[in-house]
Structure 1
Amino acid sequence: MKDAYERRALLLHLGDVLEAVNRLMICSGDKQGKQTVHEAVAAHDSLKGVPLLMHVSPSMATRDFVEHATAAFLSWPRELLELELDREQLARTVQQALFADNAQGWQDYVVRLREAVAWFGADLKPIETSQRPGEVVTRADTEQPDPLARDADTGRPDSGDIERDNGDQSQASRESVENGGRLYPSWPWKSGV
């Protein structure tokens, strides 16, 4: 049951990050994105209550923040729905994308997020300086088929036939989903489930 609440906390955090990106884009009058995040926060009271914006590097431009935040949290919705959570991967993508050159900001961010999710960032090794913020490699990047791939014979989009990859398990899985069985365990915070 604790896992479900931790996933919920991470999902709520993802929502906060999306809100921070949106507010920053609205408040930043700099169309080229050269204004730093800290300058934007100083100029707009509505941004001052967003802790993530204060944890990023003081030299990070607003445009860079938007790009790096997107890269950092892109895989979270998919990862949070996995049966087994890859805790290190969730933290690693954020660390690499937003805090590669900002160890203190990373530590401050982790301390704050651990108030809701005690394991977040635990035992995560420091980033190697050769790893650049834009070079985030996720587990999904190495496992997922290219969504634009085309079947060589038909020219139609390749569906990434799961049944072919899973063999006999696919029929049983399909039946359990089609017959009304729950794909994911019930969420404990929903009433009446």
Structure 2
Amino acid sequence: MTSIRTLTVNNEEVYARTHIQGVDGLANSTENKDGLMSKEDKQKLNRLQEFDISKLNEATKISPGLMSMEDKQKLDSIDKHNQIINRNVNVYPNKTQIVNLNKNLTSCLNGIILVWRLDDIDDLYHYQYVPKYHNNHPNTYITEVIPYRNQSNKLDYCIKLVRVSNTQVVGAASNQLAPSNHIRLHEILEY
């Protein structure tokens, strides 16, 4: 909160006259004399104006820059997780449509999320979590039952079967048959 200041000359209260060009009695500040701002603020402002911006470097894990090394490490640890591993996959997938993971399942923080999407309209997303320890069972099918409204506006179910290994997602032949062929694998997220 700011406080009101009283202008005094020889311990008598005076009122400043103002004009479009300035205020009578208030001069420009210098580094040695108060004016429209304090001399300390004028010194700070001059130092900021003289600062060479090219000295600012991007922080790394081993050297500070615009932030400390520690903050950069924290930011990197947050940023490297929960990202899209495979974008615009758009397969059902059947047993011949193999999706190669852009990041190994065991390298993910917790696992992956398979994002299933309805073919007819783009407003139905279904998220299937696969933990990274599932890599111990790469030949085992995992199943997902996805409810959706068919063209008759009746509730229907799509059953998806996939095998997830450390590097791939492989579907089953039944994924391309009705009603399972109404929903496709849209993308894969790290979790």
Which TM-score applies when normalising by structure 2? Answer: 0.22
Greater strand fraction, Structure 1 or Structure 2? 2
Which TM-score applies when normalising by structure 1? Answer: 0.22
